[in-house]
Copies of this chain bind each other. A is one copy, B any other.
Amino acid sequence: MAVTSGVKNRTRQAIVDAAIDLLAGNPACSLGDIAAAAQVGRTTLHRYFGERADLLAAVAAEGGERLVRAAALADLERGTGGEALLRLCREYFDLGSLLSLMFAGAGGECWESQDEQCLVAVVERGHADGSIDPALPADWVLGLLWSQLYAAWEYLGQRRDASRHHVLDLLTRTLSNALRPPPA
């Protein structure tokens, strides 16, 4: 049951990708719009995802995978907690419209459930090694990470003249400053 036809896989992926892009802009968008964006008939979409909830679940699953992949690329075990968090931030920034989806979709309930614990551990490592202000609770730090990521993504979308690299630089600077512990 593992490998379906290559065509089916590609169609399914096209639908999920289109769904992520459109739902990021408008969480209430219609299935017809998604099908059109995926260049697929609405009938075909329903063949892959019987109900809207099925598609949303697939989107959540895909989003979760991308987050896990990004976290893996960030190599969270290396260096101080603060450094690891900044690397993670850079990887997350590449996720693009998925970032908007996290905010629109009730702050992301599902895909973070187990990943959350892992990230909390990184922040607490930062608390211990002095790279993150211990006065900032771990979940506050993570909320900060997400909100600044979203702000950066929006900023990039509105100011087309700003280069991706420049925005990432601003993001890194403000986030690392925000987390920096007081000079003791």
* Cβ proximity bits A128-153 to B, threshold 8 Å, 1 near / 0 not: 00000101110110011011101110
CA distance A158 to B28 in the complex (A): 24
When the two chains form the complex, which single residue of B103, B133, B139, B154 contacts A143, counting CB atoms closer than 8 Å?
A: B154
Residues of B within 8 A of A144 (CB): 148, 151, 174
* Cβ proximity bits A38-78 to B, threshold 8 Å, 1 near / 0 not: 00000000000000000000000000000000000000000
- Does A173 belong to the interface (CB within 8 Å)? yes
Q: How far is the CB of A112 from chain B (nearest CB, A)?
A: 12
Number of A residues with CB within 8 Å of any CB on chain B = 31
In the complex, the answer to whether B154 meets A140 with C-beta atoms within 8 Å is: no
Known: A151-B147, A155-B143. A136 touches B174 (CB 8 A): yes
Which residue from chain B places its CB closest to the CB of A150 in the assembled complex? Answer: B147
- Does A8 belong to the interface (CB within 8 Å)? no
- Does A170 belong to the interface (CB within 8 Å)? yes
- Does A177 belong to the interface (CB within 8 Å)? yes
- Does A160 belong to the interface (CB within 8 Å)? no
CA distance A100 to B175 in the complex (A): 22
Residues of B within 8 A of A154 (CB): 107, 143
- Does A159 belong to the interface (CB within 8 Å)? yes
Residues of B within 8 A of A175 (CB): 178
Residues of B within 8 A of A135 (CB): 170, 173
Among residues 91 to 141 in chain A, which have CB atoms less than 8 Å away from a CB atom of chain B? Answer: 103-104, 107, 133, 135-137, 139-140
Residues of B within 8 A of A179 (CB): 174, 177
Q: How far is the CB of A141 from chain B (nearest CB, A)?
A: 9
Residue positions of A touching B, CB distance < 8 A:
27-28, 103-104, 107, 133, 135-137, 139-140, 143-144, 146-148, 150-152, 154-155, 158-159, 170, 173-175, 177-180
